[in-house]
Structure 1
């Protein structure tokens, strides 16, 4: 009876509901809310499942990397991979929703054409809260991770600032410790190498130049043009661009009257140099020697503008007497130590033409000329002009045309070069093209860098610029080179970066080991500098204290960095990963180096440091990042 009564009342309510016309919206909403709740519930369940899967992927990735490293270092055998995989995964997977977790591990041994791999797979499920109402009590998920190694090798080039300011605030010491100290970058990277050649490191100490090593003077990729030429034939001293100042020295009008006892015709403000007492003598002299071995030798001192030594002298060879200049009131006799005209020299006007006459001298430069077939057989030839036709300057013949004709042993043979190399001729200062003897602009200019009364590439000075160390896995030798680094001269980050690039190139001057087509290479450049660019090969760009207007050194480096970043490997991926570090401890602080900041491969690879202590932590951070073997899938 009670059941019939309830049924009858329900049927009556249903009849009244079907005939009701009030509250339609509420009724419809009541009916619609059910599927809405179902969709929301499903979204919640799927989100939980996705979170569980994401956590699984992360744990599998990390476990796979750890297994790869363990196997590479010999900490486990192949047979131990499954159990170790489960152990690592269990410690890493912390998601509370995942249940029924199962992990598998498959190891594939390397072959001649394929690398070793570890494949980790994981499966699991979550218990649904809402989807079970639709007949799905659980939601399954799975993921996998593969590491590939054995054909992934690392080559790291370190371009390290060795300029004078690195002596301040303990920076050079901190840099040595960060790279070559116990647990430093070299230790971090060498730990990744199971076999010789798995990891290579090059060290490029730089200042205004790099030191390639004096023993390389016989190499055919060196451009000796600047090193051999006299000051009047230095293309790097010329103007660079429209309206730019030229610092090129010129021969004086009375050049052919300059000889023993005459006053040096140049000063730092007139030519950029003075005279010395001999071709290898650093003692300046006001007057050209008139006795001794170097009587009549006109030897230029260090260049005040380019901070470079010249490697030769003009020799005064007497050729009688006569007119040495005519047609200009600016012509004059050279003076001697008494302040008067040198003996036998006079000037006068005849028939309205002003001229000067006296003893005449020719002036060959003491590097081999084109006609030398007896001496200096293994040296390049110098074709620079050294005087005027008929030993006379005239108003209609103001350009020297007589070519150097030195046919005796060189006073500064190339074997005396101390190893300095400066920027390549533009545009090759900004690219990685390999040198070719058929194109001198691709070769590397020798230099004799001299600043602060120091020839920095000379190993006998107290603070030498250390030589480049090409790619090597001789960890102790690399550490020795880094620990020997000293603060030296001015800053040209570009030349350091250029040689870091060259050190990674196969077939280049630093003989990077050949690369296997079946091997993946991680090529990394790390550049650290504590200051802004102040000088490079072109003295019109900077004086050693600051750059010229418009920051032309930075402009060249910016182009270089763009070319580095544009380089691609065979798969179309970036060829190089670049880390850039600016150590900014100056007071007041230097501005952020835009060129360094933009040179880094990505914003997270640029580091602005404000204390020396940060150098160690930054290199540790980079070392940790490089230590992570790349996931293949």
Structure 2
């Protein structure tokens, strides 16, 4: 026993192995602290990705109407999965969706496996994110002013434009809180715009520069007495026949070409504010043009109208913008626009793929550009927002300066980019805002 007591006493007093024991004990909190730094950094990255994907899901379901909560849940989860690569991050997330009035709330929770914090018994970290979308309840009138010139036939530009424009209509139409809150107009243009031959006898047209040709038109103008008595023809106040007119109109007199002054004078007055009827070119290219479609909520008809667009003719952006402005002006020609109001946004989405080449007076690009600059400035001064899109070609400075602000200008180098550009514009136009 004395020997055992002596041995234990010697071990108790021996300090040679204490450093290893102390180090072994002390290394645990050091490793845990280092692990916490690594794992918490990973958690922040996951949280950021969760938040971004959740916001995208919230905007998607926030724009949907007439859906049950379970349908919204399924739709949100689908958008979330598309934007959140759980397979790469190894952290799947599960969403919950709730709706109260105009507010849609989403939340997501995920568990992140730790790397080094497991040494102190912490094997997972809870990561969560929330998003809230509010339907603003604002009304929206949008005029799509779209280049339909011959160059749009190249490189698939017109094909992609049609798809992108229809997708935009789908997005903004879904954002309407109430039926009729969102309306869209379509204004195809080249050198002229086509108002349709059914408007042949409106008082705001004049025919002084129109040369009649055989066929076409409604046959009005120079009628004999037998035709009038039989109701086959009716004279009007214009001295020239309208035969051969296909519905196109040119720029108004300057400076009315860059304004939206309306209504025109009574018949017999000055033609300065009236639109001159346009002859087709000898190759019939400039009036081979889809007609204007005024503001409408008939989404199917709007899509069909876009599908019928065709590429032909030269470029005059001024007249396209003039008629986009008309579509958004209460009391304007062919317009069903509402009066300006605090809860109403009026917007032009203007797209072109080339330089101005011809208008009513000139084929000099600089001269025509000056008219475009003037009307862009006047439109913005009237409180209308302008998004401008340059497709591959065209005067970048002119088109950029037409936009309300730099962030509302887009320039694409390939036609395929139009899809994402119009999607971005559509999201900006929708009545949805991330409110939390």
- Using the size of structure 1 for normalisation, the TM-score is 0.46
Query: In the superposition, relative to structure 1, how do residues 146 and 67 fare at CA in structure 2: closer, same or farther (>3 Å)?
Result: closer
Tell which has more relative contact order, 1 or 2 (C-alpha 8 A, sep 6+).
Answer: 2
Q: Does 2:132 match 1:149?
A: no
> Could you report, residue by residue, the CA deviation over 1:273-293 in whole angstroms, capped at 9, with x for unpaired residues?
xxxxxx429xxxxxxxxxxxx
**Aligned counterparts of 2:147 and 2:59: Cα–Cα separation in 1:** 37
Select 1:427's aligned residue among 255, 259, 264: 255
Contact 2:141 2:344 in 1 (8 A): yes
Q: Could you tell me which residue of structure 2 aligns to residue 280 of structure 1?
A: 214
> Could you report, residue by residue, the CA deviation over 1:493-543 in whole angstroms, capped at 9, with x for unpaired residues?
1111111111111111122243485x61111111111100000111xx20x
Secondary structure of 1:171's match?
A: helix
Q: Residues 4-43 of structure 1 correspond to what in structure 2 (within 5 A)?
A: none
Secondary structure of 1:227's match?
A: coil
> Could you report, residue by residue, the CA deviation over 1:453-487 in whole angstroms, capped at 9, with x for unpaired residues?
12543xxxxxx311001111111111111111111
Secondary structure of 1:219's match?
A: coil
Contact 2:263 2:332 in 1 (8 A): yes
**Aligned counterparts of 2:426 and 2:60: Cα–Cα separation in 1:** 17
Larger radius of gyration: 1
Q: Could you tell me which residue of structure 2 aligns to residue 460 of structure 1?
A: none
Q: Does 2:353 match 1:557?
A: no
**Aligned counterparts of 1:157 and 1:516: Cα–Cα separation in 2:** 15
Contact 1:208 1:536 in 2 (8 A): yes
**Aligned counterparts of 2:434 and 2:381: Cα–Cα separation in 1:** 23
Q: Could you tell me which residue of structure 1 aligns to residue 245 of structure 2?
A: 417
User: Which has more helix, going by share of residues?
Assistant: 2
Shift of 1:106: 12
- Comparing 485-494 and 188-197, the one that deviates more: 188-197
Query: In the superposition, relative to structure 1, how do residues 508 and 532 fare at CA in structure 2: closer, same or farther (>3 Å)?
Result: same
> Could you report, residue by residue, the CA deviation over 1:572-621 in whole angstroms, capped at 9, with x for unpaired residues?
xxx2211111111xxxxx56432211001111111111111111121112
Select 2:237's aligned residue among 364, 369, 380: 380
CA RMSD of aligned residues (A): 4.0
**Aligned counterparts of 2:417 and 2:104: Cα–Cα separation in 1:** 37
> Could you report, residue by residue, the CA deviation over 1:535-563 in whole angstroms, capped at 9, with x for unpaired residues?
0111xx20xxxx26xx1100011011111
Q: Does 2:357 match 1:534?
A: yes
Q: Could you tell me which residue of structure 2 aligns to residue 168 of structure 1?
A: 154
Q: Could you tell me which residue of structure 1 aligns to residue 305 of structure 2?
A: 481
Select 1:213's aligned residue among 188, 196, 209: 196
Secondary structure of 2:330's match?
A: coil
Q: Does 2:280 match 1:446?
A: no
The count of corresponding residues between Structure 1 and Structure 2 is 327
Q: Could you tell me which residue of structure 1 aligns to residue 173 of structure 2?
A: 190
Query: In the superposition, relative to structure 1, how do residues 591 and 149 fare at CA in structure 2: closer, same or farther (>3 Å)?
Result: closer
**Aligned counterparts of 1:496 and 1:483: Cα–Cα separation in 2:** 18
Unpaired stretches in structure 1, ≥5 consecutive residues? 1-54, 89-104, 110-115, 120-144, 230-278, 282-310, 312-365, 383-409, 458-463, 568-574, 585-589
**Aligned counterparts of 2:63 and 2:251: Cα–Cα separation in 1:** 45
Unpaired stretches in structure 2, ≥5 consecutive residues? 1-46, 81-97, 106-131
Q: Could you tell me which residue of structure 1 aligns to residue 65 of structure 2?
A: 73
> Could you report, residue by residue, the CA deviation over 1:203-224 in whole angstroms, capped at 9, with x for unpaired residues?
1110100100011101111122
Query: In the superposition, relative to structure 1, how do residues 552 and 72 fare at CA in structure 2: closer, same or farther (>3 Å)?
Result: same
**Aligned counterparts of 2:60 and 2:103: Cα–Cα separation in 1:** 8
Q: Residues 301-380 of structure 1 correspond to what in structure 2 (within 5 A)?
A: 378-380=235-237
**Aligned counterparts of 1:506 and 1:496: Cα–Cα separation in 2:** 18
Q: Does 2:406 match 1:576?
A: no
Contact 1:166 1:530 in 2 (8 A): yes
> Could you report, residue by residue, the CA deviation over 1:150-209 in whole angstroms, capped at 9, with x for unpaired residues?
3x11111111111111111111111112112xxx21221222135331211111110100
Q: Could you tell me which residue of structure 2 aligns to residue 179 of structure 1?
A: 165
**Aligned counterparts of 1:446 and 1:379: Cα–Cα separation in 2:** 15
**Aligned counterparts of 1:106 and 1:72: Cα–Cα separation in 2:** 12
Q: Does 2:289 match 1:465?
A: yes
- Using the size of structure 2 for normalisation, the TM-score is 0.65
Contact 2:188 2:291 in 1 (8 A): yes
Select 2:326's aligned residue among 502, 516, 540: 502
Q: Could you tell me which residue of structure 2 aligns to residue 605 of structure 1?
A: 408
